[in-house]
Amino acid sequence: MLDLFMTIFFMIIKVIGITLILLLLPVPLTWLERKVAGHIQQRLGPMRVGWHGLLQPIADGIKLLTKEDNIPIYADKTLFKLAPIISLIPPFLVFVAVPFGEDVTLFGRKTGLYISDMNIGLLYIFAVAGLEVYGVILGGWASNSKYALLGGLRCCAQLISYEIPLGFSVMGVIMLTGSMSLLDIVEAQSQIWNVVYQPIGFFVFLVAGIAEAQRIPFDLAEAEGDLGSGYHTEYSGMRFAFFMLTEYIVMLTVSVLIVLLFFGGWNGPFLPPIVWFILKVGFFVYLFMWFRFTFPRYRYDQLMSIGWKVLLPLSLANILITGIFLA
Amino acid sequence: MVEAIAFYVFGGLSVLTALLVIFQRDPVRSAIYLVACFIQVAALFVLLRSPFLAAVQVFVYVGAVVVLFLFVIMVLELKKERFSEYIHRGQRPWALFIIPALIGEVGYLAVKGKSKASLGPYSEEFLVKQGSTESLGKVLFTKYIFPFEVVSLLLLVALMGAIILTMKRGKE
Amino acid sequence: MYRENWLERLEKRYRWIGFTLLLDLIDGLSLTLSYLFSKTITMQYPDREKWIPYPRFRGHHFLRKFENGDTKCVACELCARICPCQCIKVVPYEDEKGNRRPLIYDVNTARCLFCGLCEDACPVEAIALGQHYEFSAYDSKKLLVGKDVLMKMPGKTEEGGKVVRARLVAGEKVFAEPQGKEGYHWWNRIRRR
């Protein structure tokens, strides 16, 4: 009985912990993004609130909270209110299956740094990550505005197109490991990282991951220039903040997945595992920001042809090559 | 006990959402309730100890099929359905006959029918030991490799057909 | 007709190699990375720095004075005449020494376009446009400044054009107070390849 109680207790603690981490991490990430943006453009970025603008995200949060919450007259009100919440749920669900490290001993009990080690972990992650489309497309539809609808439709087509190469690029890793559990995949990389065996798979995953996270150069769904920021054109205040939060959590998810699948997760010499994990994830988050302020946006037809004519054949070839080497 | 409660909750919700799909007049909302229904069904698959099927259900149906439904609904701009417009005059008396007949059939099958197929070697202990996903994959690629390949070929033909249908004629 | 030489043809032929290896993208990334670690050109006005304008800058007006504190202005009203937006109002009177001096000298800085024609027109070099530029107000009536204020305004400094260290003063008037004269020219910080 006590054992069951402790298990449930640990589960609740872990769920609350991960939720808090995911809700709070975008706060420093927005600061970091603005700093990186500034310094790449020879500016300083936020400097006035707090030391080097560290408290700027909090000021932004207060601003968004106190802003007018505007709902367009012709909007579908229920869906308009529901869409930001729907978009926020899937990124949180993904982290149910994401491990952050090996077992640790807490209060004299061994517990894993993950909520659930699923047999089908990777498949679950892709299935749940696919739900992310709904928030965006419903938000675009409910706003009843042409820019929002166009953004939603673009985003929908983009996410569906890039989910396919994303899924196929992971296939090589699954074939190497023989398991879809992320724990097994990380354990298999304790000697050599998967990126050595799977450079093509890594490349496809990275590009498709950027497209899934809707970051530049694939941020057509929210192209400020031609769509007036796309599906969240009509959103303001806290609802808009929900969409921003989603975007950052998805970016974080993609970085975490890259690290777990191709860069050996928490494996690394000298430093404790969790530090390695944070360092690697941080590097990829920084890479995304670096891309954002370097590359211009792709045109829509270019986006589609990259997805279908370049990434999909590449990922299929990767599966074939991996199969030949394994056989 | 817990499982039975979970089954009735998910089953009831799936029936409720499925009913809401057909009772909604706004096609977008219908699609959303369809998503909810699919997710409940996926939960039922988990209860049946088939997480792979559940994940595929969410992946394929929720993540792709209904999104394409929504896409089409939004692009074609279907207005809220007017009830009478789509019902022919002769339909109602027939419906009065057929619907009770179908419900009766389903009910009879549920009560009297043989709802359990033999599991063969795949007992619960076997699945736990080997993992349901692995055994499914093994069976699919050994015993049922021929139907599997036939299905994939069929899908390929359908894919090519779709591409040819949408190709522009006047180019050549 | 232009014919490519052999090197250009070779480059064109094997361009796909660089394209496949994403050399263009890597080139762009390395450029932005080098910018990331280069010096920023942000002028932290008004918190830390302030740009002191050149002496030729046309900022807030001021009236020059004699050593005894009298204004140099002889109230000839030439500045009011030449002013294209008619923002200067001068009313003359005769002071106790018998000099023609302005009784009222109002400049409506809300209307002024800072062309500097009044400075050119002035025969005694009394009115001039200085380097002071932080005089925004919440009320446009406060922008109508009289003779007393114009005489108290700081005059021109000898040098300028540099960014100096400063401190933000946020009292009744909000401005950045310069600390010292050592500074740098902002355009020296622009990165050139």
Nearest to C134 by CA among C109, C116, C111, C158: C109
Instruction: Express as a percent the part of chain A with pLDDT over 90.
Output: 12
Q: Mutating which of A124, A170, A175 best tests the B interface, going by the most B Cβ atoms within 10 A?
A: A124
Q: Is position A51 within any domain?
A: no
Residue C26 near chain A (CB below 8 Å): no
Does residue B83 carry a pLDDT above 60? no
Closest by CA to A118, choosing from C161, B68, B58, B37, is B58
Chains contacting chain A through 3 or more C-beta pairs under 8 A: B, C
CA A49, CA A61: separation in Å to the nearest integer?
A: 13
Sort out which chain A residues have CB atoms less than 8 A from C39's CB and list them: 42
| pLDDT number for residue B154 | 95
User: Which residue's entry shows tokens 């899924």?
Assistant: A167
Q: Are C40 and A42 in contact (CB under 8 A)?
A: yes
- The reply to whether residue C35 touches residue A41, judged by beta carbons under 8 angstroms, is yes
The H-assigned helical ranges of B48-131 are: 51-56, 66-76, 91-112, 124-130
Q: Is residue A220 part of a domain?
A: yes
Backbone angles phi, psi at A191, to 5 degrees: -95, -60
Q: What is the CA radius of gyration of chain C?
A: 27
For residue A2, pLDDT over 80 is answered with no
**Segment B95-145, tens digit of pLDDT:** 888 999 999 998 888 887 765 666 677 777 776 666 677 778 888 888 889
Residue among C32, C39, C41 minimizing CB distance to A40? C32
Q: Could you report the per-residue pLDDT of A29-52, keeping only the tens digit for each? A: 999 999 999 988 888 888 888 888
- C179: helix, strand or coil: strand
Residues paired with A106 in a beta bridge: A109
* Bridge-based pairing state of the strands A104-106 and A109-111: antiparallel
Whether CATH 3.40.920.10 fits B1-79: no
Lowest mean pLDDT among A74-83, A156-165, B72-81, C19-28: B72-81
CA distance linking residue A254 with residue C66, whole number of Å: 73
* Residue A115: how many other CB atoms lie within 10 Å: 18
Kindly report the average pLDDT of chain A as a whole number: 85
Of the candidates A300, A317, A319, A315, the one whose C-alpha atom is nearest the C-alpha of residue A164 is A315
Based on its alpha-carbon atoms, the radius of gyration of chain B, rounded to whole angstroms, reads 21
Instruction: Say if A102 falls within a structural domain.
Output: yes
pLDDT at A166 over 60: yes
Q: Whole-angstrom Cα distance, residue A32 to residue A54?
A: 9
Please write the tens of the pLDDT for every residue from C126-161.
899 988 888 888 888 888 998 888 888 888 888 888
How many residues make up chain C in this entry? 193
The verdict on residue A61 lying in a domain is no
Q: Do chains A and B touch (3 or more CB pairs under 8 A)?
A: yes
| Mean pLDDT calculated for residue range A191-210 | 89
| pLDDT value, residue A285 | 92
Claim: this prediction has a pTM higher than 0.90? no
Among C29, C31, C40, select the one facing A39 at the smallest CB separation. Answer: C40
Report how far residue C140's alpha carbon sits from residue C151's, in angstroms, rounded to the nearest whole number.
Answer: 21
**Cα separation, A302 vs A160, whole angstroms:** 16
Which is it for the CA torsion A82, A303, A210, A42, positive or negative?
Answer: negative
pLDDT over 70 for what percent of chain A?
Answer: 97
Residue C130 contacts residue C143 (beta carbons within 8 Å): no
For chain B, give every domain's residue range. Answer: 1-79, 124-172
Q: What is the mean pLDDT of residues B136-163?
A: 90
Q: What is the mean pLDDT of residues C49-65?
A: 89
**What confidence tier does A4 reach under pLDDT thresholds 50, 70, 90?**
confident
Q: According to the model, what pLDDT value does residue A82 have?
A: 87
> Is A119 contained in some domain?
yes
pLDDT digits (tens, 9 = 90+) for A262-279: 888 888 788 888 888 889
pLDDT at A22: 87
The answer, yes or no, to whether residue B54 has pLDDT greater than 70, is yes
User: How far is it, in rounded angstroms, from Cα B18 to Cα B33?
Assistant: 7
Q: Does the pLDDT value for residue A232 go beyond 70?
A: yes
Predicted local distance difference test score (pLDDT) of residue B81 = 59
pLDDT of residue B153: 95
Please give, rounded to a whole number of angstroms, the shortest distance from the CA of A255 to a CA of chain B: 21
CB A312 within 8 A of CB A164: yes
pLDDT of residue C10: 84
Residue A322 near residue A315 (C-beta atoms within 8 A)? no
Q: Is the pLDDT of residue B84 over 60?
A: no
- In DSSP terms, C7 is beta-bridged to none
pLDDT class for B77, splitting at 50, 70, 90? low
Instruction: Return the top range by mean pLDDT from A318-322, B77-81, C12-16, C135-139.
Output: A318-322
Residue among B29, B67, B132 whose CB faces A160 most closely = B67
Contact C36 A44 (CB under 8 A): no
Q: Averaged over A205-228, what is the pLDDT?
A: 82
Q: Which amino acid is at A58?
A: I
A293 contacts on C by Cβ (under 8 Å): 32
Q: Tell me what pLDDT residue B156 has.
A: 94
Q: Are A303 and A218 in contact (CB under 8 A)?
A: yes
CA-to-CA dists, residue A82 to A127, A141, A274, B95, C188, angstroms: 21, 12, 36, 36, 53
pLDDT at C187 (0 to 100) = 84
Mean pLDDT score across all residues of chain C: 86
A137/B71 CB distance under 8 A? yes
Region B53-59 average pLDDT: 87
Token readout for A266 is: 């928490």
CA-to-CA distance for A124 and B52, rounded, in angstroms?
8
- Note whether B35 contacts A134, CB cutoff 8 Å: yes
Spatial CA neighbour of C175 closest among C125, C122, C137: C137
- pLDDT grade for B152, boundaries at 50, 70 and 90: very high
Using the structure block, give the residue that is written with the tokens 């069976």: B139
What does the pLDDT read at residue C84?
Answer: 92
The answer to whether residue A103 is domain-embedded is yes
B85: confidence class by pLDDT, cuts 50, 70, 90: low
pLDDT (average), residues B155-163:
91
Question: What's the structural domain count of chain A?
Answer: 1
| Alpha carbon distance A194, A239 (integer Å) | 39
Q: Chain-wide mean pLDDT for chain B? A: 82
The pLDDT of residue C49 is above 90: no
A256: distance to nearest CA of chain C, Å?
Answer: 22
Q: Domain of residue A233: give its range.
A: 74-326
Question: Considering only B143-152, C4-13, C70-79, C122-131, which range has the smallest mean pLDDT?
Answer: C4-13
Contacting residues for C33 by C-beta, under 8 A, at least 6 apart: A290
Interface chains of chain C (3 or more CB pairs under 8 Å): A
- pLDDT, one tens digit per residue, over A61-87 is 898 888 888 888 888 888 888 888 888
Q: State the nearest Cα–Cα gap between B53 and chain A, in angstroms.
A: 10
Q: Burial of A32 by CB count in 10 Å (0-12 exposed, 13-18 middle, 19+ buried)?
A: middle
pLDDT score recorded for residue B80: 61
